[in-house]
Amino acid sequence: MYQWIQIPLAEARELEATDKIPKDLGYPYLEPINGEAMVEYHIDSCEVFQEKMETEKFGGNLIVRMEANH
């Protein structure tokens, strides 16, 4: 199972505002295909991610900072 989850920046800010995750914990980036502002977190950063990853394909994703040839 992969250990990273990527969520839209707006969702990340909402989780921060409701104290479900510490502010600025994730890695912000722009999604390369559509340019959407996203934030990447380790799945253990927040209980909400444990629930969310159960509905996500593969239960999590590869880290976005990994080079494409790995």
With respect to residue 67, please indicate whether it lies within any of the assigned structural domains.
no
pLDDT at 61: 58
Domain that holds residue 40: 4-59
Whether residue 51 is predicted with pLDDT greater than 70 in this model: the reply is: yes
43, 5 contact by CB (below 8 A): yes
With respect to residue 41, please indicate whether it lies within any of the assigned structural domains.
yes
With respect to residue 22, please indicate whether it lies within any of the assigned structural domains.
yes
Average pLDDT, integer, range 42-70: 69
Computed over every residue of the chain, the mean pLDDT equals: 82
39, 24 contact by CB (below 8 A): no
With respect to residue 70, please indicate whether it lies within any of the assigned structural domains.
no
With respect to residue 16, please indicate whether it lies within any of the assigned structural domains.
yes
pLDDT at 5: 85
pLDDT over 70 for what percent of the chain?
76
pLDDT tens string 7-22: 999 999 999 999 999 9
With respect to residue 69, please indicate whether it lies within any of the assigned structural domains.
no
With respect to residue 64, please indicate whether it lies within any of the assigned structural domains.
no
Rounded to whole angstroms, the Cα distance separating 49 from 24 reads 16
In the chain, the number of structural domains is 1
Rounded to whole angstroms, the Cα distance separating 23 from 34 reads 25
Alpha-helical segments (H) within 3-53: 9-17, 47-53
